[in-house]
Structure 1
Amino acid sequence: MRGRNDILADIRANKPKFTAPAPAVPNYDDHYPSDAAGLQARFIEVLEKMGGAWAEPEANESLEATMRRALADKLDANSLIASNVREIKGNRRVHADDTPASLHDVDVAVLRARFGVAETGTVCFTEAELTVNAVAYLAQHLVVLLDPATIETNLHRAYQRDDYKNARYTVFHTGPSATADIEGVLVRGAQGVRSLTVIPTPTV
């Protein structure tokens, strides 16, 4: 019996020559707001529909204070906060050589999103923001710093970004974890983070 590699080699060798250019695919975003404020409003609307929260910093409020205000009912003095951003210190460092299992007790993970997507209320992370991929799934709560200027209209635009195409690993998060396949009852936090909070923060 011929092996898998032999079969694939034959397929590649006999692949028909095809030189026609790929068709141009529309971006399908003509109906989205063209101004930054309108795009941000659309993002917030969909984010909240998907169970996420938008936490706008108050005047002269630090980002850590904004986070603690937004998660007032979820944090206490013993909460373990793993922060991958310089704006919020946290009390747990995440190192590239940490094993996923070592993050099992993280209460809050704080990450900066690479960009957002208004169509779905989504935030995007690459390996650069995550450090250890599991941190965005094992934490009880996820706090995301997002530069409103990076919000794209839809996923068509997101897929065209160089930082998306050049990343070794990319993940999209749309709200907290949720499932509704047991008698149609929506349960949030069943298989991942229990809450997702986005704090608008320009990239410096």
Structure 2
Amino acid sequence: MANTNMTTREKILADVRKNQPPLVDAPGIAVWENRVQADGSTILETFKAVAGNVGGKVVLVDSIEGVKAHLNIIPGTRVLTTVPELFDVADDAASFANATPHELENVELAILEAEFGVAENSALWVTEKQMGTRVLPFICQHLAFVVNASDIVADMHAAYLRTEGSDHSFASFISGPSKTADIEQSLVLGAHGPRSLVIFIISK
């Protein structure tokens, strides 16, 4: 016999409890481990295409030394990097780890090493150690990343597996230069951060 003293709320909750769907296992997430998609395109090609679509530029190089050939640094320009092989053309960003954001406001170019990239959105995973200081990739005028082609994964499912178990005080996925279209629906680059992004992919 039904309890006639039940409130409307209690009756609704009781009906919900009686009509719960059966429990099922969580669906398996298939990670794209094969580096060639069904249409023949590769993870690297997908990464390059998506990076271009969001305003970035991809440059393939054979080694870190090959990065220097593509740098056009004007004398007197402030350039910081966390890549030891580039200390002859840029200052060590780690030496500014305790700097205030105002002390870094005139950084023209930051060249950082990314731990890995993600093909589906061209995002790059960068930890605070690779940034030198966490404000650097967001306050510089122009940003460049160096990443190995073998360290580009297919999608965010693979990316989360890649970061599983890691412990960082700060890390971020970064994709493309800063941009907004909030003002009069006009796209503006560099509104909140770097005006350009170049990704140097080491293919060997």
TM tier, shorter chain? Answer: 0.7 to 0.9
Query: If the length of structure 1 is used for normalisation, what is the TM-score?
Result: 0.76
Separation in 1 of the partners of 2:24 and 2:129? Answer: 33
Kindly provide the CA deviation profile for residues 139-182 of structure 1, in whole angstroms up to 9, marking residues without a partner as x: 10001101010111111110111467433322011100000111
What residue in structure 1 maps to residue 79 of structure 2?
A: 81
Separation in 2 of the partners of 1:41 and 1:192? Answer: 26
Question: CA 1:29–1:58 in structure 2 vs 1: closer, same or farther (change >3 Å)?
Answer: closer
Kindly provide the CA deviation profile for residues 96-143 of structure 1, in whole angstroms up to 9, marking residues without a partner as x: 222222111100000000100000011110112012000001110001
Structure 2 spans left out of the alignment, 5+ residues = 1-22
What residue in structure 2 maps to residue 117 of structure 1?
A: 118
What residue in structure 1 maps to residue 71 of structure 2?
A: 67
SS in 2 for 1:67: coil
SS in 2 for 1:136: helix
Return the offset for 1:62: 3.2
Question: CA 1:114–1:31 in structure 2 vs 1: closer, same or farther (change >3 Å)?
Answer: closer
Return the offset for 1:84: 0.8
What residue in structure 1 maps to residue 140 of structure 2?
A: 139
Separation in 1 of the partners of 2:171 and 2:179? Answer: 20
Q: Is the 8 A contact 2:148 2:201 kept in 1?
A: yes
Separation in 2 of the partners of 1:188 and 1:27? Answer: 36
Return the offset for 1:201: 2.2
Larger Rg, first or second structure (1 or 2):
2
Separation in 1 of the partners of 2:115 and 2:24? Answer: 31
Separation in 2 of the partners of 1:198 and 1:164? Answer: 26
Q: Which amino acid aligns with 1:55?
A: V
Return the offset for 1:29: 4.3
Separation in 1 of the partners of 2:59 and 2:165? Answer: 26
Separation in 2 of the partners of 1:64 and 1:32? Answer: 29
Separation in 1 of the partners of 2:186 and 2:135? Answer: 27
Separation in 2 of the partners of 1:155 and 1:62? Answer: 29
Q: Which amino acid aligns with 1:196?
A: L
**Root mean square deviation of aligned Cα:** 3.1
What residue in structure 1 maps to residue 50 of structure 2?
A: 46
Kindly provide the CA deviation profile for residues 27-65 of structure 1, in whole angstroms up to 9, marking residues without a partner as x: 464897359x81101000000000000122389x73212
Aligned residues: 178
What residue in structure 2 maps to residue 107 of structure 1?
A: 108
Query: If the length of structure 2 is used for normalisation, what is the TM-score?
Result: 0.76
Structure 1 spans left out of the alignment, 5+ residues = 1-19, 69-74
SS in 2 for 1:55: strand
